Amino acid sequence: MQGMSLCSSEGNKLIEKIDKALEISRIMKDVECFSYLDRYTGSEDGEKAAERIAKRMEELGIPVEREIYQVYRSLPGEASIRIQGDSSEAIVPLTPYVYSGTAENLEAELVFDRISATGGCSQKEQRARMAEFAGKIVLTYENSFAFACEAKRAGVLGVITIWHADLAHHGTLGGVWGTPEPEDLACHYPRIPFVEITKSAGKELQKKLEESPLTACLNVEMCQSIVSSTMPVARIQGRSDKYVLVSGHYDSWYEGITDNGVANAAMMEIARVFQENQEHLERSVVLAWWSGHSDARYSGSTWYYDHHWEDLKENCVAHINMDICGCKGSDVVGMRTSMLEGEAFDREFLREFNDKEPEAPTPMVRFADQTFWGADIPFAMMPQFIKQDHKIFSWWHTKEDTFDKVDPEVTLRDTRVIAKLTAIFANCEKLPAEMSGFVSFMENELRSIEQKLSAEFDLSPVWRAIGSLKEAVADLENAMENQKHTDDVIMEIAGELARIMYTTSSPYHQDPAVKGTVFAGLAMAEGLTRENTEADYYLAVQTRFVRQRNRLTGQMNVVAENCRKWISGWGK
C-alpha cells in the first residue's frame, strides 16, 4: 500500500502496517456468524449481534460503551391484494414499507398511475393527477415519501408501488430522520397503506387494468412499537482527543450480509489492527455500530448525535461510513463525500483500488446515517463499492442478501479502503481541507440552481456574500501555512461551510428524511412558475426560498468574519 504525502513518515508507516495486518479469514469468520442472525433493531438476534461486537472489543482490550436507547421502530407484517371478480381471485403477496399505514379488507377501485410510467409533471398537474385517485387504491411506479404525502392529502386509500425486480424488497416511507418529535407524530407520517409488488405481478396487474376496471381488497399488517436497542461504540485513544468516527449500521433485513454484515465484521477487524498500532495514532479512532437504520429511519445514529452533540462538535474531525460491502460483482470503488477534501485527494486515494482512472467523487446526499452535519464535522465520506454499470445489487433489502453473495477478495479490498482512509485522517499532519475549492464548488452549484429559477426567485444577494467569503477563506488558508495546529480552525470553518450547503435546519435538529440535493431549500424552487404551480404552493416556496437565502448569506458572512478573527488571533 503506497503512503500518501498527506501523512508524516510515521503516518505512512502506520498505513503500511495496518494494511498488512488485516486478515480476511478473521473477517469472513465473523461474517458467517452474522449470517445466522436476523438483526432487526431491538430483536433478540439484534441484541446478540450488538453483544458479540461489544465482547470482541473487550477481548481486544478496546474500551467500549454499550449505548442503550429507545427506538420508535416499524416492522412490516403480512400484506396482500386480492382482485374481486377475477376468475381465480388469487391472493398476491405484497411487501409493506417501513412506517406504512395498515389496512384490513380494504375494498376499493384499483387504478393505474399512467404518468408514473411515462415521466414527471408540474406541481399543478400533480394535484390534478392525485385528485383522480381519491377514494381509490393506486398502482404506480412511484415510491417516494412526497408521493405518499400527496396521495394521503388527495384522499387516496392505498398505494401499491411496482419494484424493478421479482424479489420481495423492503423500502422506507418515513419522512422523519431519527426519532420523531411531537409535531412529527402528528404531521410527518402519512400513515397511508403503502406496499410494494414484484415486477412481474405488478406488470400483470397493470395489463389487467388497461383492459378493464378492477376492484381490489387490500390487507396490510404492521408492527410499530417502542423497543430498547443497544449500540456498541468503541474508542482507540490516540495522542489527541480529536477523533475519526467510523460507523456502520448492524441492523438488517433478514440476515442482511452485504447490507451490512460484511461492514460489521470489517469494522471489528479494523478495530483490532488499529488497537495493535495504538501507540502510533495521532488522533483517536471511534467505531460505532448503529441500529435503527433500516427499520427506524436512522434513529440510532441520530440518538447518538443528540446525546453526544458537544463531543462531536468539539472533537470529531471526520465521519467515515461503511454501508453495503463485499458484494460479488463489485469492480469499482467510488466516493460519496462532503467534497471538502477536494477531488484531487479522492482521485489519488482511489487509484490504488481501481483498474481504471477513478470516477469523480459525488457530493453526499441525504441517506446512510449522514446525521452529523450540525456538529460542523467537515469530512463526511462514504466509499462506494459498486459495479461499473452503477446498477444496484439485485439482492439489496431482500431475503437473497445471503452469505453466498460475498466475495472474500472484494471484502478485503473494501476493508483496506476504510482502514486506509481512517489511517490518513487519524495521522495526517494537517487535515486535507480544500476550503477555497469548496467555496468555488458552492458557487458553481448555486449558479446551476439559478439557471433553473424564474425571475421571481432572486439569488443576487448571495453573490455579494460569496465574494466576501472567497476572499476571507483564501486569506485564512494563506495564514494557515505558518500554523502547526489547525484542526480547530478547519473544523470550525470547513465544518460550517459543509453544514450550510448540506442542511436547511438548525444544528440541533434534523432535516426531513427525503431525497435531497445541495442547497435543498433553494433548489426546491427550480422549474416553478406561476403558470405551472398553484398559487398557495408558489407563495409557500417563495417564503421558504427567501428564508433559506437569508440563512445562507447570513451564515456566509459569519464564516467570513470568523476567518478574519482566526487570522487576527494568529497575528497577536
Overall CATH class of domain 9-63+237-427: alpha beta
Domain at 73-224, CATH from 2.40.110.10, 3.40.1390.10, 3.40.220.10, 3.50.30.30: 3.50.30.30
φ/ψ of 236, rounded to 5, equals: -110, 110
CA diameter of the chain: 87
Please give the Cα distance from 449 to 453 (Å, whole number).
7
pLDDT score for 9: 74
- The residue-averaged pLDDT of 284-309 equals 99
Provide the pLDDT confidence category of residue 273 given band limits of 50, 70 and 90.
very high
Our separate counts of H helices and E strands in the chain read: 18, 14
Q: Decide if pLDDT at 443 tops 50.
A: yes
Better pLDDT: 120 or 39: 39
Better pLDDT: 3 or 252: 252
Which residues of the chain does CATH 3.40.630.10 include? Answer: 9-63+237-427
Q: What Cα–Cα distance (Å) separates residue 66 from each residue in 69, 100, 252?
A: 10, 31, 19
Overall CATH class of domain 435-571: mainly alpha
Provide the pLDDT confidence category of residue 2 given band limits of 50, 70 and 90.
very low
**113 close to 159: Cβ distance less than 8 angstroms:** no
Residues making up the chain, counted from first to last: 572
Provide the pLDDT confidence category of residue 367 given band limits of 50, 70 and 90.
confident
pLDDT score for 1: 39
Spell out the residues 6+ positions from residue 134 whose beta carbon is closer than 8 angstroms to its own: 154, 155, 156
Please give the Cα distance from 499 to 505 (Å, whole number).
9
pLDDT score for 6: 59
pLDDT score for 559: 99
Which residues of the chain does CATH 1.20.930 include? Answer: 435-571
pLDDT tens for 95-141 read 999 999 999 999 999 999 999 999 889 999 999 999 999 999 999 99
Q: What is the amino acid identity at position 335?
A: M
Q: Decide if pLDDT at 572 tops 80.
A: no
Provide the pLDDT confidence category of residue 13 given band limits of 50, 70 and 90.
confident
- The residue-averaged pLDDT of 532-551 equals 98
Spell out the residues 6+ positions from residue 517 whose beta carbon is closer than 8 angstroms to its own: 365, 523
Provide the pLDDT confidence category of residue 3 given band limits of 50, 70 and 90.
very low
Provide the pLDDT confidence category of residue 323 given band limits of 50, 70 and 90.
very high
Which residues of the chain does CATH 3.50.30.30 include? Answer: 73-224
Q: What is the pTM of this model?
A: 0.96
**560 close to 468: Cβ distance less than 8 angstroms:** yes
pLDDT score for 87: 67
- DSSP H helices in 481-534: 487-502, 520-523
Please give the Cα distance from 288 to 204 (Å, whole number).
44
Better pLDDT: 368 or 419: 419
Coil, helix or strand for 381?
strand
pLDDT score for 5: 63
How does 129-161 read in b/e, with b if 16+ C-beta sit within 10 Å?
A: bbeebeebbbbbbbbebebbbbbbebebbbbbb
Work out the angle between the directed axes of helices 9-21 and 262-276 (0-180°, nearest 10).
130
Render 398-444 in DSSP notation, one character per residue: STT--GGGB-HHHHHHHHHHHHHHHHHHHHBSS----HHHHHHHHHH
Please give the Cα distance from 295 to 428 (Å, whole number).
37
The whole-chain average pLDDT of the chain stands at 96
Nearest to 265 by CA among 17, 19, 24, 60: 24
Nearest to 159 by CA among 170, 171, 147: 147
